[in-house]
Amino acid sequence: MSQQPTQYGYGTAPVQRPTETMAILAIVFAFVFSPLGIVFGIIGRKNIDRNGNSGRGLATAGMWLGIVFTALGVLYVVGLIVLISVAATSGSTAP
C-alpha cells in the first residue's frame, strides 16, 4: 500500500481592514449636501492615516466631488443673482 501525502487545511483568510465610516459618508454627502462631503472627506483621510483602515479612495473621491459640486452650486447661485439683478434694472421702456 502506498502512503497518501498529508493534506493541509485551507488556512486562515487574510485580515481585511474595515472601511472608514467617514469615507463612506464623504461619498454619500458629496451628492446630498456637498460641503459636508468635503468635511467628511478630510476627516476620513486623517482617520485613515491614523488608524490604517481602508477607504482612502472613497474619502478622496468624496472630498473632490464635494469641492466640484460646491463650486458649481456657488456659480449657479451667483449666476442666478446676476440674472435677476440684470432683469430688474433693465425694465422695459415701451409706451
How do residues 53-80 score in pLDDT, each as one tens digit? 999 999 999 999 999 999 999 999 999 9
Residue 43 maps to a domain: yes
Asked, for residue 2, whether it belongs to a domain, the answer is: no
Residue 74 placed within a domain? yes
Number of domains in the chain: 1
Assess if residue 52 is contained within a domain: yes
pLDDT of residue 66: 98
- If you search the block for the grid coordinates 454627502, which residue do you land on? 29
Whether residue 61 is contained in a domain is answered as: yes
Residue 78 is part of which domain span?
21-89
- Rounded to 10 degrees, the C-alpha dihedral 70/72/73/76 comes to 160
Distance CA 20, CA 43 (A): 10
Whether the Cβ atoms of residue 39 and residue 63 lie closer than 8 Å to each other? no
Q: Supply the mean pLDDT for the chain.
A: 90
**Looking at the domain assignment, is residue 75 inside a domain?**
yes
57 within domain boundaries: yes
